[in-house]
Chains A and B, each alone.
Chain A
C-alpha cells in the first residue's frame, strides 16, 4: 500500500501538516451527523478518520474498501471543521482523501458513479433532458440576451425544487434588474463531483461553465442553491487557475441580492404574512460562506412574520443530511438526519420551516412526509414575494 501512502501524501500537500495538529479532543465526533450511523464505533468519527489518514500516510495502515466507505459517509456539513480546536479544514481533507481513493480505483461509491454517467450524457446528475433545464421558467420570465448578472439555476432548483429560483427571478424582474440565463448551455456546477472526489469530471464541468460565463460576458453570477454558490465561490477560482482560465466574476447567493435590495430600500415588504416560521441554515450557505444574517434580515423585514430559532442554529446548525453525496449513496442515513432536523424544527412550535437551499428543501419535503408532519415548507424568497404582492 505504498502507492496509497504516497498518493495521500501527494493529494494532501497542504493538509499534511494540518493532520499532524489534530488534538484528538473529539469535539468533531460529538457534532458529526453521520458518526452515530456507524453503530457508535469510534472509527466512524472525524477524529478517527484523521488518525487513520495519518497512519495511512506513514504506511502503517492500508487503504481498504471499508475505510473508503467510511470516508464517504460524510455530508460535508463542516460542523467538524467549525468546532475543531486546531482549525483543520476537515472537509477539504475528506475531499482530498476521496480524490485519492478515486485515483486508486477504490472510489467513488456506486451511486456516485451513476451520477457521473448521467451527467456525462445529460449535463445534470438527475438524468433529466438537457432541453428541460429551462422548464422551471414561468411565462412572465424574460431573461436578457446580454446582462451583467447571470442567473445560474443549478440542477436541483431547475429540475426538482424550482420555487426558490422562480421567486428569485420574479423579484429581479419586478425590480427591472436585467439578468441573463443560459438554459441548456449551463451544466452542473460540479459540486457533486468535487465533494465525491471525482475531480476529472468536475474539472470538465467547471471549465465548460467558466467558458460559458466568459462567452456571455457576465460579471456577476447569482444562484438560489447553497451548494452551487459555495462551489462557484470557492472551487471555481481555484480550478480556473489550474486550467489557465481567468476568473473575475462575483458570485452571489439570492439572499445577498434580496438583502441589498432591502438595505437600499428598493423593495419594501408591506403586506402582512402572519406566520410563525423557523429558519434552517443550509451548511454550504452558513458555515461555508458565513451567510447567516441576510436570510434572517429578510425574514425580519416581513410584517407579521415571527421567527423562532431552532436549538441549533447559525454556526451550530444541524445538517439536512443530503450533502457530500450522502443522499445519493446512503439514502437511509440522509433521510434519518433530515428527520432529526425536522423534528428540531417542529419542536420550536413554528408552522413553517423555511430555508434558502433547494437541496435542503428537497430533503425536508421527504422528511415531513415520512413524519406525517403538518409543518409547511417554504423558501425565504417565497415569503418575501408574498409580502411584496
Chain B
C-alpha cells in the first residue's frame, strides 16, 4: 500500500507503508485509555517507517521537515504514557529494528548501541564480554535502550547505579535539518525523559558494570516504616545492587494466580535485596533484623529474582490493570502508602517499588479493573489518586509522556523544563517532532485545554465517584 507522500516512499522504499491495516497497530501503546479521550486525538499515523539504519532516520526527518508533517518516534511502545503514540497522525518512525550493538569497549566498560536494542538482549551480549548493563527496566524482555532513556526511569540495579540517565554517557541525535549531533554531559538532560521532542536518538553510549552473579535475599518487612530503613542500610552498608518491595496485597493477588502459592507474607511487605555474589549473608541478616524484618528461605528469593520481569501477571485477574506510578523520597514512603491505602480503602491494591540511589524510589500502585466496562472512563480516574497523594509528599510524576505532560515541571525541574522549552523553539519551531508530548498538547476544538490537563482535571472531579464505583475486591 502506497504511503500518502511519494517523496517519503522514494526516500525510504519498502521501509515505509501507508497500508491502513498496518497503520492501526501503531495507534495505541500499553495504556488502555478511554475511547472518548482518544477520539480527540489523531492517534493513527498516515505512514509508518521502520528504520533500518540511522540514515533512514535522517531521511525520514528530512522528508517530514520538507512536508511539514509530524514525526512520532517509537521503540517497542512498551510504556503506557502515550509518549510514542501519534496525536496528530503524520509519520510514525518505528526504531525497533535498529538493534545493532555497535561497539563494546571492555577496557572503558562502555557499549555503543542503536536505540532499538532490547535491554535483555544487550545484557546477554555484554555478559559474553564480561560486562553487563548497569540498570534495566522490568520490561527488559521487550523495551528498548533508546525508549527507556527517552522516557526515563529507575529499575533493577538503580539502588547502586541510579537511573537510566546516570548510565548514558553520550548520544547521537538526528534533527529535522538532517544533521546528526553528538550530545554529551549536561546537554544529555535535554533528551532524557523528553520523548524525542528535540530530535531522534540514533546511537547511545552506555556505561557498563562488570558481569557478576547476583545473590538475592528475600526479606519479610512488618510495616512501611521498615522500608526506608532497609533501603538506607542496603545502599550504605551492604552496597546492594538492587532492592524491590512488594506489598502483601500484591502478593495476595499473585497467590490467587498461583492457586495460593507464594511467599508467606500476610501483612507488611516482601523485600528482594540483591547483592553481588557471594555477598555477606550475616551482614544482610543483621541489616534486616535492625529494620525489624526477617530473612525468608532462599527458594523465595530465587523465585522472586526469576520472576522479576513479570510484574503484570496480575492483570489476568482484571482483565485490566490500573497502574499509578510515581517517584518518591523513600523517607516519605510510610505516610504516602498509608494515605493511598486510606484513599482507596474500598478496593484491593497492590504495590511494587524499586529503590534508587540517593534515597528515592519508584512506586507502582496496581488496582484491578475491566477496561471493557461501561463505567471504565470514570473508574479509571482513581489511578491518579496515588500520584496526587505522592506529589503532596515530595514525590513527582514518573515521566511526562503525553498523559502526564501536566506534571512535566515536577519531573524535569523548573530549570530543565525551561531549557527544554527554549531548545524546542530553536530546533523545532513548527512543533513537528513528537508534538504534544512533554510540553503539553492542544486538543482540536479545545485550544485552551490540553489532553493531559483535561485528563487530570476530569480525574480530579471524577476521583471521589470513581472510588465508589471501583470493582469490589475478591476475598
Q: Do A and B bind each other?
A: yes
Question: Which residues of A pack against B, CB within 8 Å?
Answer: 17, 20-21, 23-27, 29-30, 36, 39-43, 45, 48, 51-52, 55, 61, 64, 66-67, 83, 85-87, 311
**Are B26 and A26 interface neighbours, CB within 8 A?**
no
A–B complex contacts, Cβ < 8 Å, 28 sampled: A20-B371, A21-B316, A23-B30, A24-B78, A25-B30, A25-B312, A26-B77, A29-B76, A30-B121, A30-B141, A40-B52, A40-B97, A41-B17, A41-B25, A41-B48, A42-B22, A42-B77, A43-B21, A43-B24, A51-B25, A52-B24, A52-B25, A61-B24, A64-B21, A85-B310, A85-B311, A85-B315, A87-B316
Q: Tell me which of B15, B139, B318 contacts A25 (CB under 8 A).
A: B139
Residue on A with the closest CB to B140? Answer: A27
Q: Is residue B29 within 8 Å, beta carbon to beta carbon, of the partner chain? A: yes
A52 to B22, CA, bound (A): 10
Q: Tell me which of B17, B19, B21, B28 contacts A51 (CB under 8 A).
A: B28
A39 to B142, CA, bound (A): 18
Q: Is residue B53 within 8 Å, beta carbon to beta carbon, of the partner chain? A: no
Which residues of chain B (288-319) have a CB below 8 Å from chain A? Answer: 309-313, 315-316, 318-319
Contacts of B311 in A (CB 8 A): 85
Question: How distant is B147 from chain A, measured CB to nearest CB, in Å?
Answer: 10
* Known pairs A24-B30, A25-B142, A30-B141; A39 contacts B14 (CB<8 A): yes
Question: How distant is A134 from chain B, measured CB to nearest CB, in Å?
Answer: 47
A27 to B96, CA, bound (A): 13
Contacts of B143 in A (CB 8 A): 26
A44 to B26, CA, bound (A): 12
Question: Per-residue 0/1 for B4-34: is the Cβ within 8 Å of any A Cβ (1 yes, 0 no)?
Answer: 0000000000110101011011101110000
A311 to B120, CA, bound (A): 14
**Are A20 and B28 interface neighbours, CB within 8 A?**
no
Other contacts beyond A23-B312, A42-B48: 17, CB < 8 A: A23-B30, A23-B321, A24-B30, A25-B78, A25-B142, A25-B312, A27-B141, A39-B50, A40-B52, A40-B97, A41-B22, A42-B22, A43-B24, A45-B25, A66-B21, A86-B313, A311-B124
Q: Is residue B334 within 8 Å, beta carbon to beta carbon, of the partner chain? A: no
Contacts of B313 in A (CB 8 A): 85-87
**Are B312 and A86 interface neighbours, CB within 8 A?**
yes
**Are B30 and A21 interface neighbours, CB within 8 A?**
no
A51 to B77, CA, bound (A): 14
The 8 lowest CB-CB distance pairs between A and B, nearest first, are A20-B319, A26-B142, A42-B25, A40-B50, A48-B25, A43-B25, A40-B97, A21-B319
Contacts of A43 in B (CB 8 A): 21-22, 24-25
Q: Is residue B94 within 8 Å, beta carbon to beta carbon, of the partner chain? A: yes
Question: How distant is B48 from chain A, measured CB to nearest CB, in Å?
Answer: 7
**Are B141 and A42 interface neighbours, CB within 8 A?**
no
Question: Which residues of B pack against A, CB within 8 Å?
Answer: 14-15, 17, 19, 21-22, 24-26, 28-30, 48, 50, 52, 76-78, 94, 96-97, 118, 121, 124, 139, 141-143, 309-313, 315-316, 318-321, 370-372
Contacts of A86 in B (CB 8 A): 312-313, 315-316
Q: Tell me which of B17, B21, B141 contacts A67 (CB under 8 A).
A: B21
A30 to B141, CA, bound (A): 8
A27 to B316, CA, bound (A): 16
* Known pairs A39-B50, A40-B50; A83 contacts B141 (CB<8 A): yes
A120 to B14, CA, bound (A): 41
Of listed A27, A51, A64, A67, residue having the most chain B CB within 10 A: A27
Contacts of A41 in B (CB 8 A): 17, 22, 25, 48, 50, 94
Contacts of A26 in B (CB 8 A): 76-78, 142-143
Contacts of A311 in B (CB 8 A): 124
Contacts of B96 in A (CB 8 A): 40
A92 to B25, CA, bound (A): 21
* Known pairs A23-B30, A85-B315; A30 contacts B118 (CB<8 A): yes
Residue on A with the closest CB to B120? Answer: A30
A24 to B81, CA, bound (A): 13
**Are B142 and A40 interface neighbours, CB within 8 A?**
no
A37 to B309, CA, bound (A): 27
Residue on A with the closest CB to B35? Answer: A60
Contacts of B52 in A (CB 8 A): 40
Q: Tell me which of A20, A40, A51 contacts B320 (CB under 8 A).
A: A20
Contacts of A55 in B (CB 8 A): 24
Contacts of A51 in B (CB 8 A): 25, 28
A297 to B413, CA, bound (A): 59
Contacts of A29 in B (CB 8 A): 76, 142
Contacts of A24 in B (CB 8 A): 28-30, 77-78
A246 to B253, CA, bound (A): 39
Residue on B with the closest CB to A19? Answer: B319
Question: How distant is A20 from chain B, measured CB to nearest CB, in Å?
Answer: 4
Of listed A17, A20, A87, residue having the most chain B CB within 10 A: A20
A30 to B142, CA, bound (A): 6
A41 to B16, CA, bound (A): 9
Contacts of A85 in B (CB 8 A): 310-313, 315
Contacts of A23 in B (CB 8 A): 30, 312, 315, 321
A51 to B31, CA, bound (A): 13
Question: How distant is B379 from chain A, measured CB to nearest CB, in Å?
Answer: 16
